[in-house]
A and B are shown apart, each in its own frame.
Chain A
Amino acid sequence: MDRTFLFLTAVAALTLAAPTLADDATDTDANKAVDDALAEKAAPPATPPTLPSTASESAVNAHANIAFGKKGEEERIAHSHAGQHGGDAADDARADAANRAAQGAAASAAGAANGDAHAGAGQARAGTARASHSP
């Protein structure tokens, strides 16, 4: 009986300690993994530096309107596939959903992000379109 009790106590102690130890190790590895990814994907700024001016802004806005018109079309197409709207509120909503799911299964986060990925793809295409309209 004593041996059984000792065994169960040891296993219980391991149960309490293991997640903490594992989390610490995982967090260190995870931070390094993110740092590596950030270093690998570091790129120069998207556009060369140009000081704006009140005079040039009307021309820039005209280009932006053209690009946003194009972007709007791209995003409408992306959203028709995704059935969801991208942006901050959507990020937060999906993060909430993923957070809840994380209590049981982390996998749902990727699924929740699917719509945003479509929106992101639309945004990337719009970026390309915008670049092609730049002077």
Chain B
Amino acid sequence: MIRAAALLALGIATGSAGAGEHLLAGARLFRAERWAEALVEFRVAERLGDSAARGYAAATLVKLERPEQAVEEFEARGAPPPGRDPLLDYYRAVACHDARLYVRADRLLAGIGARTGPGIARLVADARAEIAAMLRGEPRRDAVEWYVARCEDLDRAGRRVLARAFCDEARGLGERRADRYGVREADAILAKLGPMAGAR
């Protein structure tokens, strides 16, 4: 009997590793700036069923300087929606910023508001001030054209989530012009792309 109890106790102690252990490992590696290894841990946690892990993986992609992939990850089905976690919203905004999706980034940053601590709030304010300074005045036509062309390229490559983001950006920039240059063209492509699974 004692032997059976001991074996069962051992079973308790060595229960299968859960997603939480991989999240903890990922957190430790993230803190140590070992981004690639942290990404693997978050991916494992995601596959073990942790619903938050996809957002953590996306944030890690930002650190790995893969912003377009991060945007796709943040906007995929199953990712935490904007507004749920201001910290992930900040990383998502940085992903958009680094992918040159400035109007989108600013929208996310505006949504963070006062829901964070002073450190993040300062980063948000600085980033918004820089974007506002850059967007002062009408965007040039060739900038709008660049976003439409990028959208079309991404659509052809089958990266529809990202294509949609770039067409949205072209639309946002076109609307800042008196002649709404590029808006109609962006709308036509967006209509063709249709609503996305993780559409925001």
Using CB atoms and an 8 Å cutoff, list the residues of chain A in contact with chain B: 4, 7-8, 11-12, 14-15, 18-19, 22-23, 26-27, 29-31, 33-55, 57, 86, 88, 91-92, 94-95, 98-99, 102-103, 105-106, 109-110, 112-114, 116-117, 119-120, 123-124, 127
Chain B interface helix/strand/loop/mixed: helix
Question: Nearest Cβ distance between residue A42 and chain B, in whole angstroms?
Answer: 6
Measured as residues with beta carbon below 8 angstroms from the partner, the interface class of chain B is 35 or more
Please judge, given known A-B contacts A4-B1, A37-B30, A95-B40, whether A51 and B102 are in contact too, CB under 8 Å.
Answer: yes
Residue in B8, B16, B36, B143 whose CB lies within 8 Å of A103: B16
Question: Nearest Cβ distance between residue A14 and chain B, in whole angstroms?
Answer: 6
Residue in B8, B102, B105, B130 whose CB lies within 8 Å of A15: B8
Query: Which residues in window 94-146 of B have CB below 8 A to A?
Result: 94, 97-98, 100, 102, 105, 117, 119-120, 123, 126-127, 130-131, 134, 139-140, 142-143, 145-146
Instruction: Tell me whether B21 is interfacial, beta carbon within 8 Å.
Output: yes
Residue in B24, B34, B65, B173 whose CB lies within 8 Å of A33: B24
Are B21 and A113 closer than 8 Å at their CB atoms?
no
A49 CA to B93 CA, complexed, in Å: 12
Are A92 and B43 closer than 8 Å at their CB atoms?
yes
Instruction: Tell me whether B193 is interfacial, beta carbon within 8 Å.
Output: no
13 interchain pairs, CB-CB under 8 A: A7-B1, A8-B5, A22-B18, A27-B20, A30-B21, A34-B23, A45-B98, A48-B134, A53-B140, A88-B69, A91-B43, A106-B21, A113-B40
Are A44 and B33 closer than 8 Å at their CB atoms?
no
A33 CA to B17 CA, complexed, in Å: 17
Question: Nearest Cβ distance between residue A66 and chain B, in whole angstroms?
Answer: 17
Which A residue's beta carbon lies closest to that of B40? Answer: A113
